[in-house]
Structures are given as structure tokens and as C-alpha cells.
A and B are shown apart, each in its own frame.
Chain A
């Protein structure tokens, strides 16, 4: 790679400012991760037998990423970049070194100072972990070697051919998924009667065996060679087949495949995964509702949990024999009708006074209302009716003739939630293209002008509130029947915030985005009280949610799967304006010329 020496930089001609900047950030990140306790807490989770735990992995990815970042070329138009070479590898290595120095300082600090009072992880446990139960000198040497090594590897990613980079990426991410998703794969292979396969991959005490890791890495690395982008080509071919009939046919095919998968798959999945999917569905239902309020109508509602609570409590009161004051013990179906009525009322009641507010004010006031509703359920005043902090227990399973939907059978809950989600998706989809949908769009853009167009803004906004409220209350109703009890504690403000994060990360206004968002966030990280796939992260969930939100806002504000419109809004503006600047100016000049 050093063939063309004339164009490549000299080895020590480094951008020291850049290296020290990213190096310090690298060091700070590593120290931060250690001090929040991620490594100590996750050290028990073995990824690769007697080699690597999830805790160490959390430190290790940092120098790799920063090595990659620091050696990234800033592409300047019109300036020929020097070819990447050994100098870039060195800058990666130096960044990794900087990062390791942070860990060395941390070790020295823990050894000599006692800071356990504010920092609970400033403790011998972390010290032992960092020094590998050896001396500081040994630990420092290992971390420096690892930092330099990983920094170099990170930097070298820029210099690989795309084919090799692809192979490395496949192997790394594949291994990572296999290691982290051990429980799921165990569960899946049990469902498909393939226990021998998971026994082969994983060691008895957890973690992959070294042999299986190597075999898997080779297989995964060879995957891109075998497929050679055939999959992508097929997708592209179907995409480019843009006649409307073909597109309709393709989407029908895709839709049927997904439908069959979603209906059949739960039969092969074990309890854990079905439970997870049921939770994902419950939050998807909430997110779809909030998506209408926030994504379509542009009303930032931070008290959305209120409607979730109304659905849950209404179901509890109407179906549970333990309801303290009024206990008709109706069937779930009948209570569902009441839920719709109650949710509509709640939507109107909360909506009517706040609907005239705009933007930030609306957010603050809805935040307040969300808390008010929870506190009402908790209050002594309503205790004789709704049970106060003891809540309402003993909510019966949903009786559907031959089937019964109860919490102990997550598969049945999943199907129940699925039915509601399908309904919600259909409603959202139809609303988007409807007259009401257009009114929401106009209100989101400019409320005053929407009014000038003759749109009844108050009614349209109330409609958004009510539709959102009803969808949330369905989710609450199913949750009540699933868990068998409702408590004020289940309806904390955190629920509102997490649903909002799901909508934002998925892509505001995009139905597919919201689906992906809830699958990724709720499925993998877990809901406010529900564990996700990575149960180990339970304590760090909010940290990760926050970090993810910041990252998304900076790098991809339109969300994971944005609507075409949002992308246009956020990215196209700049380049379109640039592209037309020239021709616009010319036109203006021509016009001026004509005038003169």
C-alpha cells in the first residue's frame, strides 16, 4: 500500500491536534464506561469461552471505533487527498494509545485514591477487572498493547479493499450477534428441534467455544464471497421494476411473506421470545398511536401514558372481580367497548384545554396531565374506587371461545396484540392519505395558514388526540389482561418518554419506521419495566436510550426508516438550494434586465 510514496504522507507528518482530540475523547469514553459500571456488571456474561466477556467487549470497541474515526479522510472538493498509508495506521495506533493511557490513569487512581463515595464503581472489583487480577504494570501493558492494536486495526479498515472489508464486517457482526444472542438462538433451536446445533456452538457454562468461533468466523467471512451481492442485486432489480402493477405485485408478495412469518413463527419460538414479541407488540401499538399525534399532526404529547393507563384501568374495573367499588365482571370484549368510550373521553378532556397551545407549551402541559392521571390513580381520594397503590389485581384472562389469552401463554398474547397492531397499522395507513391526514400535515407545517385554507384546526387536532388515545388504550387493555393486574407504578412518565424515543428513532410519521423502532428498542433493549433480549442491560437501558437518541438526532434525525417526506425535509434542502442557486440568480438577473 506504500507503492505510491510521492502522494502518501510521511510517517510522522501527523495531525497531532486531531489525534490528541480524538485520543482524549477515546480515553474519556473508556473511563466513563468503566465508572458507570458496565464492565463490572457485564463481566459475568461470557461471550467466548474463557476469552472474552461482554464487560470487556464494552471497553474494547472504543479504541477500534476511534482508530477508525481519526484516520478517516476529510474529503475536500478540488483537493487531491494523499493516499492512505502507514501514517494513517500510526495515527490510529496513537489514538488507541491515548485511550489506554486513560485506563492506566484510572487504575493508578483506584489504587491510590478513595473516591467510592460519589463513584460507586471506583472499587477493587473494577481494579481487579482492569488489571486482570495481576499488577498495575501488567494491566497497563496489556491495555496499551490492546489499545494500540485495536486503534491500528480500526485505522486499517480504510485501507482494505471493499471485498475484504465486507468479509471482516460479516465475520465481526456475525460473531457478535451469535455471542450476544445466545439465549435466542438456544430458544430458536429448541423450537426447531435443533438442540444439537446450539450445543455445538455454545459451551456448557455459556459463551461460544473457541473452535466454534473460528469455524463460524470463517464461514461468515466466506458468505459475501459466495453470495457476491446476489441478494442486493435481486432487491435492486425488483426495485427498479417500477411499473405500478409490478410494484403492487411485489408489495403483495412481500406482505404475504411477512404475514405468514408473523403468524407461523411464534409456533417455533419458545416462551422467552414470544413474551418479548408480545411486549414489542404492546409498545408498537402505543408507538403507532403516538406516531399519529406527533408524527402526523405534529403535536408533541409528553403525557401519552395517561391513555395507556385509562385503557388498563378501565379493563381492570370492568373485568376483575377484585375491583373495589364497581365490579360488573364483564367479558373483555364488552369492557373493550367501554375502553374506547373512556379513551375518547380522556382524549377530549385532556385535549380540549391544551389543544390551543403550541409547540413547547403543549409538551409541558401534556407532561403535567400525564402525571396528574397517574397521581389520581395513586391518590387516597380514588383509593376506594381504584385501589390506590395496591392497584386492581386478579384481572381474568381473555376468553375467546376455543382460545384463551393469558399472560402465562405469551403466544396467545402475541396473537392478540398482533390483531390490534394490524388494526392500528391499517388505521394509520388509511388516515395518512385521507382528508384528515392532509389537514394534520397542513397544521404541522403552519397552523395559521391551515386555518386560512378552511381547515378546522381545533377539531382536527382533537381528532389526532382521540385516535392516539384509543390506540394507546387498546394497548393498556391488553397489558392489563396479560399481566393480570394494574398498578399506578406501571404508568410512569418513563413510558411516555420511551414511546417517544421509539417514534423518533424509528422515524416520525413512518409506519414502517415505528415498527422497526419498537422491534429494535423494545425487543433488544426492553421497555420501561419489560426486559428485552439483552437482559443484562437492564440497569443501563436508559443510558443506552439516551445515547441512541443523541446519536440519532446528530447523525440521522429522520429516523431509521424515514418517510420519503422526512428525508426530503431534513437533507434535501441544502443540496437543492445549492443546486439552484446558480440558475436562480441568473433568472433574477434576467428579470431585472427585462425591467430595465
Chain B
């Protein structure tokens, strides 16, 4: 591909103290694509997200945003330039209202009109959210909380959504619905980078995928190829 990657890792290494977490990781997320990162516990998935968002600084290697090295840029710089995360377990500001949650998503924006416009878009996307605007976010059901969490992320007008385990903690019936929602947002042109335990489901909607193992990328392929990979099937998809 000749296109510039939206977000890219070039042999990134990270450490927590003396512990080596990510080891020479290469990743690239292109505009408008849906990719997923698979891996077991302690494989470095969350660290990857934190490094992409600038909450962890790599010890070596480069993090690029639109081809620019952003190793030293703060989280706010990346949020302004279109990177946003939907945290694990949604993590809404539980004691604030739904409206306040959404507005905090647009914290770094000044354009009042644009913000109002985006709010309207979100109400259109999630009519249920509009009914709950003045309620505390913590009183919503799991599905509604997921909507608010995604809505909050969309409020910063991102070009890529980083999603940390979007189906974790959701009722089984809602997981499918949630993936449909992600796909819907993706179809409107949003790039999505998803970290997911539910490998089967994630790969069925993703374009490409990586598999992390103890901080190293061990597989990097299209979603179909990964789904067909016998090694992966045995270790992640629960088939023997």
C-alpha cells in the first residue's frame, strides 16, 4: 500500500520498569479499515493501546500518526488528531449525566456548533441515549452504557476508534448487537482497531488481524487467513 498509515508502530519496544512488554512490534492501521489484535492474557494488548494513545511512551522504536513521529506528543495531541479509545468495560463517568459524559468526549473541542451537530448525530444513531440524557450514566443498562461509551468516543470526531475488549462484560445477547453496531460505525468510514478476546466474532467482521504472544507479533494476516489458520484455531478459537 502506498497510502500513509493512520497509526503505525515501527519496531516499538516498551518497558514497565525493567519488565520488557512489547518487543519489536510493527503495526499499521490504514484509514477506514477494521483491524483486530488478538492475544491471551499478559500478551501486551492493553499496552499496545496505551502506547498508541500516548499514555505509555516506547523505550525504542517509533509511533507514527499520519506519518509523523508522535513518540513525545501527549494524549491530547493524538485525540485532537483523530485517535480515540473506548475503554475496557466502558468506564463511563458513572455519577455524571449521560449528556455530561458525551460532552466530556468533546473536551478538547471548541466549536460549539460542531459539538451540537455531533450530539444530534449521536442521538440519531442511538435514540435510546437521547431519552436518557439527564440520567446518571451509572444507572443505565449494560447495552445503553456501551452506546454512551461509543457516543462519547465519537464526540471527539475521531478517524480511528481504539476499542479495548468491546464485548467484555456484556450480556451474551448484547455481544452480537454490539458487533453490529461497530460494523455500522465502520461502514460510515471510521477506522477501527479492536482488541478482543472473542476472536471468532472479531475476525468475522475485521479486515486484518495480528496475534500477540508475550509482547511479540506472531501472526499478521488477513482476517480470513487467520480464521483458517489451524494453529490459531487451536489456541484462540477453542477448537482442537
Contacts from A to B (Cβ < 8 Å) = 435, 438-439, 441-442, 445-446, 448-456, 565, 568-569, 572-573, 576-577, 580, 584, 587-588, 591-592, 595
Contact = CB atoms under 8 A, between A and B. Distances in A.
Contacts of B176: 595
Interface in B174-189: 174, 176-177
Interface in B132-159: 135-136, 138-139, 141, 143, 152, 156
Interface of B: 53, 55, 74-76, 78-80, 84-85, 87, 91-96, 100, 103-105, 107-108, 135-136, 138-139, 141, 143, 152, 156, 171, 173-174, 176-177
Contacts of B173: 588, 591-592, 595
Contacts of B92: 449
A572 B96 CA distance: 12
B141 A454 contact: no
Contact of B91 (A438, A446, A588): A446
Contacts of B136: 568-569, 572-573, 576
B107 A588 contact: no
Contacts of B93: 441-442, 445-446, 449
Given A441-B96, A595-B176, A449 B91 contact: yes
Contact of A439 (B80, B107, B152): B107
Contacts of B74: 456
A476 to B, nearest CB: 34
Contacts of A445: 93-96
Contacts of A569: 95, 136
Given A454-B80, A591-B174, A595-B173, 4 more contacts: A438-B104, A441-B104, A453-B105, A454-B79
Given A453-B79, A454-B79, A588 B108 contact: no
A451 B78 CA distance: 12
Given A454-B107, A591-B173, A584 B156 contact: no
B76 A584 contact: no
A588 B141 contact: yes
A569 B139 CA distance: 11
Contacts of B174: 591
Contacts of A584: 141
A375 B83 CA distance: 48
Contact of B76 (A456, A591, A595): A456
B53 to A, nearest CB: 7
A591 B170 CA distance: 13
Contact of A455 (B78, B87, B100, B107): B107
A452 B138 contact: no
Contacts of A441: 93, 96, 100, 104
A358 B79 CA distance: 24
A543 B135 CA distance: 40
Nearest to B137: A445
A416 to B, nearest CB: 38
Contacts of A576: 135-136, 139
Nearest to A453: B107
A439 B55 CA distance: 17
Contacts of A455: 76, 107
B163 to A, nearest CB: 12
A580 B84 CA distance: 31
A449 B87 contact: yes
Contact of B75 (A439, A452, A587): A452
Contact of B107 (A438, A448, A577, A580): A438
A456 B103 CA distance: 16
Nearest to B85: A452
Contacts of B152: 453
B120 to A, nearest CB: 20
Contact of A451 (B55, B94, B139): B55
Contacts of A452: 53, 55, 75, 84-85, 87
Contacts of B78: 454
B133 to A, nearest CB: 14
Given A448-B87, A591-B177, A454 B108 contact: yes
Nearest to A593: B173
Nearest to A569: B95
Nearest to A579: B139
A435 B104 CA distance: 10
Nearest to A449: B91
22 contacts: A441-B93, A441-B104, A442-B96, A442-B107, A446-B93, A448-B91, A452-B75, A452-B84, A453-B104, A454-B76, A454-B156, A455-B107, A569-B136, A572-B139, A573-B138, A576-B139, A577-B139, A580-B139, A588-B141, A588-B171, A588-B173, A592-B173
Contacts of A565: 95-96
